[in-house]
Amino acid sequence: MKNKDINKVPSLEVHNLAASYNRMPVLWDIDFQIPQGVLTGIVGPNGSGKTTLLRNIMGLMKADSGYVKIFGEDLNKVRERVSYVPQRESVDWTFPASVREVVEMGRYRNANLMRRLSKTDKEKVNIALEKVGMLEYANRQISQLSGGQQQRVFLARSLAQDADLYLMDEPFVGVDAATEEAILEVLSELRNEGKTVVIVHHDLQTAYQYFNWIILLNTRLVAAGPKEEVFLQENLREAYGGRLTILSKLSNLIAKSEFPVREKGFKETEGSGDGQS
Amino acid sequence: MASLSNYISILDPSLLVVMAGTVLLSISASLVGTFAFLQKRSLVGDAVAHAILPGIALAFILKGEKDPLILLFGALISGWIAIALMDFISTKTKLSSDTAIATILSVFFGFGILLLTYIQGQANGNQAGLDQFLFGKAAAMRQSDLWVYGGLALVLILAVFLFFKEFSLLSFNPDFAQSLGLPVKTLRFILNTLMVLAIAVGIQAVGVVLMAALLITPSAAARSWTDSLKPMMLIAAMMAALSSFAGSYLSFIAPSMPTGPWIVMSLSLMALASLFFAPKRGMLARLLQQKKHQRKIRNENILKAIYHFSERSDQQKDWLRIEDIQGIRAFKNDSLKEGLKQLNRKGLLLLKSHQLQLSKRGEQEAMRIVRLHRLWEMYLTQRLRLKSDHIHPNAETMEHIISPEIEAQLLRELDYPDLDPHQSPIPYENDN
Ligand SMILES: Nc1ncnc2c1ncn2[C@@H]1O[C@H](COP(=O)(O)OP(=O)(O)OP(=O)(O)O)[C@@H](O)[C@H]1O
Ligand SMILES: [Mg+2]
């Protein structure tokens, strides 16, 4: 399955790309190709430039040098074949909009500038919502979503674009096991349809399971290729240990309701109960 | 001049025209301002409003009279220069964006005041009316001006409708808009131009100084009422219309009064009322919500105390006295009585003169709370490695918050433990 597409044009080709913020270099000479029809992980520790790489590929910032080809063309020629999912934290989720309204944004085009969406657009939105299991939440305000639901909404918006190359920034962050499974299923389905999916991911452990093509990044390109060739047993960092998902869920609950963090004037009279042993 | 006895009817045609014009101006400002508000660019709106002054003053000096088209043109130019400079300063220098905004505001405004002072010294200076620019005077607009300003306001409103979809996306997620290949730069340019024009038009009613209020306050107030953009803009427009209606009427019956302060005052009142009384997001609603939570916490604590009592006392006794509960946990007397009554009403507690007893359901509820408390303590000691003498106050709060979903997850992660870190048993439904 891996190399049969090798004679086709690569879905993505990054050539000698370098990028910086305020002259501080963040990416050095990144050079790789991704064939069509693979599920790719861009993997690297925090601050290794994964987001920056994606932003450069999408033309959201100016590279210092190098260029990017998508299906052998300039980005502007193939815009509608590419879908970009920004990092979840990059938007303000208190924005007054409903789930459906956000997913509809995936259908905005130059062709329908200043116009309403067509019937077909709306159908595609419904299908996308269905695929990520958010159809019943379609009219929910986005401010009332959990982190995992927010990721699903972004995924749905991306699916609604009906693209051939998908670039997603950390779609698995803040997501519980069930949602992770669901997202992964959607992604594999895309790949089975012959589409290319590129995922920014920072968890080494799961990266090997999820992807069949891996780009290892740390400011410079460490390695790129089929996962077996890239994942030589140099376990770069031990995993971050058990993550405390329950704790963060609770803090969300606290932030949303009006619960005090500590009860006022708490006092329990003597006696052996929960207080002491 | 209308004398006092000759009270102006609200149906006076000239008043009606002015009112209609002012209402239109304010609606256009509030709609365009919504996007400034959503992009968190309220301060930029304020700076642009002030920065328009020199453009208007220069236009007046060059033309020699208040030709609305020329004034608008002057406003557009200086507003745009201000926006470009602010962008330049905050992206190309090390100064933060609020420094850029403050600098541009004061420099442009200062220059504008200088020019106005010069105009006042001129022969035709009175026609310009310093106050009118600074604080607005709806009644001073001539019929012919009104057609220009009102017409432009309509165009602005129409433009907001046309670009509604794109402007929303631009405000929510500009990177995504760009990734779609939408003409983001052009859209930004259009939105900024609309803002400058809305300001240039709006200052006829409220003046330069208070213009930002007309731009931002309506959407800020409307935000407390709804989580949905279209209704929010509708509410904002209605508030703007209502306040400018009131303001322009007042400026007719009291011609010496500037309109701006009246409009802005009534807008602010509405905003304040929204802040307090809006459902869900309003302070009153939140206060009630807090009160409700406090009651819930107290009542759950009472149930828990009763549970602890029967856990600790050796002899099983069916009916407890109020003092028994006080012996477990020091409740305030009134609060305890209120809580007992509420629990009784909910069927969780049986009351008999001065004695009480948990009902079947009350017992289960008490068990649930104690279980959550002890489970959470387990979680804290096992997963956060907190010392067991540090965890209690935290668990004391969490037991009231933990939802059934989280409880299930806790149980799974901890694998249904029997004892908590203090070696007290964790009670489950089926073991009595
Ligand atoms: N807007 C910015 N201005 C200046 N420096 C930035 C900016 N954005 C990112 N950087 C820096 O560039 C480096 C790479 O950032 P980037 O966001 O691409 O990393 P990442 O691999 O996506 O990290 P993460 O896993 O935390 O998302 C970091 O050192 C970061 O501090
Ligand atoms: Mg990132």
List pLDDT tens digits, range B135-153.
Answer: 887 777 788 888 999 999 9
Is the pLDDT assigned to residue A86 strictly greater than 60?
Answer: yes
How confident is the model at residue A15, as a pLDDT? 95
Q: Which ligand is nearest to the CA of A53?
A: 1
At B5, is the pLDDT very low, low, confident or very high (cuts 50, 70, 90)? very low
Q: Are B166 and A113 in contact (CB under 8 A)?
A: yes
How confident is the model at residue B204, as a pLDDT? 85
Mutation target for B interface from A83, A87, A263, A274: give the one with most B CBs within 10 A: A274
Q: Residue range A199-220: average pLDDT? A: 86
Q: Which ligand is nearest to the CA of A26?
A: 1
> pLDDT tens for residues B146-195?
899 999 999 999 999 999 999 999 999 999 999 999 999 999 999 999 99
Give the separation between CA A18 and CA A27, rounded to whole angstroms: 5
Nearest atom in ligand 1 to A217's CA: 21
Please list every residue in chain A whose beta carbon sits closer than 8 Å to the beta carbon of residue B181: 76, 79-80, 110
> pLDDT tens for residues B288-310?
989 999 999 999 999 988 888 88
The shortest CB-CB distance from B180 to any of A109, A261, A268 is to A109
Q: Are B207 and B226 in contact (CB under 8 A)?
A: no
- Mutation pick for ligand 1 pocket among A17, A20, A21 (CB with most ligand atoms within 8 Å): A21
Q: Which residues pair with A27 in a beta bridge?
A: A19
Give the separation between CA B319 and CA B53, rounded to whole angstroms: 79
Q: How far is CA B414 from the centre of its chain?
A: 42
Q: Computed from CA positions of residues A83, A100, A172, A193, in that sequence, does the dihedral angle turn out positive or negative? A: negative
Lowest mean pLDDT segment, chosen from A96-100, A262-266, B114-118, B425-429: A262-266
At A245, is the pLDDT very low, low, confident or very high (cuts 50, 70, 90)? very low
Is the pLDDT assigned to residue A24 strictly greater than 60?
Answer: yes
Q: Residue range A63-85: average pLDDT? A: 95
Q: Does the domain made of B4-278 have the CATH classification 1.10.3470.10?
A: yes
User: Edge-to-edge strands of the sheet including B349-352?
Assistant: B320-321, B355-358, B349-352
Percent of chain B with pLDDT over 90: 43
Interchain contact, B181 vs A113, CB within 8 Å: no
Q: Letter for the amino acid at A171? A: P
| N-to-C CA span, chain A | 61
Report which secondary-structure segment, H or E, holds A225: strand A220-226
Give the separation between CA A168 and CA B176, rounded to whole angstroms: 12
Q: Are A181 and A133 in contact (CB under 8 A)?
A: no
At A234, is the pLDDT very low, low, confident or very high (cuts 50, 70, 90)? low
For ligand 1, the distance from its centroid to the CA atom of residue A52, given in whole angstroms, is: 6
- Higher-confidence position of A241 and B324: B324
If we measure between CA atoms, which residue out of A263, A252, A249, A247 comes closest to residue B392?
A263
Report which secondary-structure segment, H or E, holds B417: none
Mean pLDDT of chain B: 87
This prediction has a pTM of 0.80
Q: What is the DSSP letter of A116?
A: -
Structure tokens at A130: 């269905």
Rounded to the nearest angstrom, the minimum Cα separation between A145 and chain B is 13
How confident is the model at residue A199, as a pLDDT? 96
Q: Residue B327: closest CA among chain A residues belongs to which residue? A: A269
Lowest mean pLDDT segment, chosen from A52-61, B70-79, B127-136: B127-136
- Higher-confidence position of B216 and B128: B216
Residue nearest to atom 2 of ligand 1 (CA): A21
The shortest CB-CB distance from A113 to any of B166, B227, B330 is to B166
Query: CATH number of B363-431: 3.40.50.2300, 1.10.10.10, 2.60.40.680, 1.10.3720.10?
Result: 1.10.10.10
Q: What is the CB neighbour count within 10 angstroms for residue B127?
A: 13
> pLDDT tens for residues B10-37?
667 778 888 889 999 999 999 999 999 9
User: φ, ψ for residue B354 (rounded to 5)?
Assistant: -105, 20
B107 — alpha (psi -120 to 50), left (phi > 0) or beta? alpha
For ligand 2, the distance from its centroid to the CA atom of residue A55, given in whole angstroms, is: 10
Give the separation between CA B187 and CA B374, rounded to whole angstroms: 57
How confident is the model at residue A68, as a pLDDT? 96
Q: Which residues pair with A223 in a beta bridge?
A: A216
Q: Residue range A268-276: average pLDDT? A: 43
Q: Are B213 and B28 in contact (CB under 8 A)?
A: no
Give the separation between CA A161 and CA A20, rounded to whole angstroms: 30
If we measure between CA atoms, which residue out of B77, B46, B54, B14 comes closest to residue B252?
B14
> pLDDT tens for residues B199-256?
999 998 888 989 999 999 999 999 999 999 999 999 999 999 999 998 888 777 777 7
Give the separation between CA B125 and CA B132, rounded to whole angstroms: 12
Q: Residue range B349-369: average pLDDT? A: 88
Q: Computed from CA positions of residues B223, B228, B233, B239, in that sequence, does the dihedral angle turn out positive or negative? A: negative
| Domain regions of chain B by residue span | 4-278, 285-358, 363-431
- Cα three-residue angle A25-A28-A30, rounded to 5 degrees: 140
CATH topology assigned to domain B285-358: Arc Repressor Mutant, subunit A (1.10.10)
Is the pLDDT assigned to residue B258 strictly greater than 60?
Answer: yes
Helix B13-38 / helix B42-63 crossing angle, nearest 10 deg = 130
- Higher-confidence position of B7 and B325: B325
The shortest CB-CB distance from B176 to any of A84, A114, A260 is to A84
Interchain contact, A246 vs B232, CB within 8 Å: no
At A277, is the pLDDT very low, low, confident or very high (cuts 50, 70, 90)? very low
Q: Residue range B414-431: average pLDDT? A: 81
What residue ranges line ligand 1, CB within 6 angstroms? A 21-22, 26, 44, 46-52, 202
Is B363-431 in the same CATH topology as B4-278? no
Mean pLDDT of chain A: 84
How confident is the model at residue A257, as a pLDDT? 59
Interface ipTM > 0.85 = no
